[in-house]
Structure 1
Amino acid sequence: MVVIRLSRGGAKARPFYNIVVADKRVRRDGRFIERLGFYNPLAKGNEEGLRIAQDRLSYWQGVGAQASPTVERLIKVAAKKIAA
C-alpha cells in the first residue's frame, strides 16, 4: 500500500519534515517514491512553514495513496491558506 506521510529531518530539537509518498512497509525516514512538499513547525516571521504540490497530491490520492492523519490535517491547513 502507498501512503503519504511525514519524514523527519533537521537537527535535534529543530524538527523539519518532508511530506513524502512511500510504501507502507518502508521505515519512516527510509526510501520514498516522491517528495510532495515540506512542513516546518518552527517557522518564524516570513519563513514558509508549509508547502504542498497540490497537483502531485491529487494525482497520488487519485491512484489510491492514503494520507496519514497528520498529513490530512496539513492538507486542510494548506487548502485554507490557498483559499484565503
Structure 2
Amino acid sequence: MEHLVDRRVLIIHGDRDRSEASAAKSLDYARRALAVVPDLARYEVPRGSHYLVKQADAVRALTTAFVLAILGTEPSPLAIGELCAPLPPRG
C-alpha cells in the first residue's frame, strides 16, 4: 500500500464483475488502502460488468465529480471516504 500514500483514489467496480479482479477483491483492497489514503472513494455499479461499457456516461460523470471535488473547484457530491456506495441508476 506504500505506493498509495498521500494519493487520492477513486475505485469504480461493477458488482457483476466475474473477472480475476472481482468486486469482492476490489472492496478488500479499498479497505486495506484506507489506512494510507485519506481521500478514497469506492463505488459499485449496479449490474456492471468488468468493462462498465453500458454505464460509461455515469462512470465519466462520477470520475469528473471526484476530480473536481479533489481540486476544490466544485462542492463534492461524493461521499469521499466511503467504501461502497452505488452509482445512481440512469433514468
TM-score (norm 2): 0.29
- Structure number with greater CO (CA < 8 Å, separation at least 6) is 2
**Greater per-residue helix proportion:** 2
> TM-score, normalized by length of structure 1?
0.30
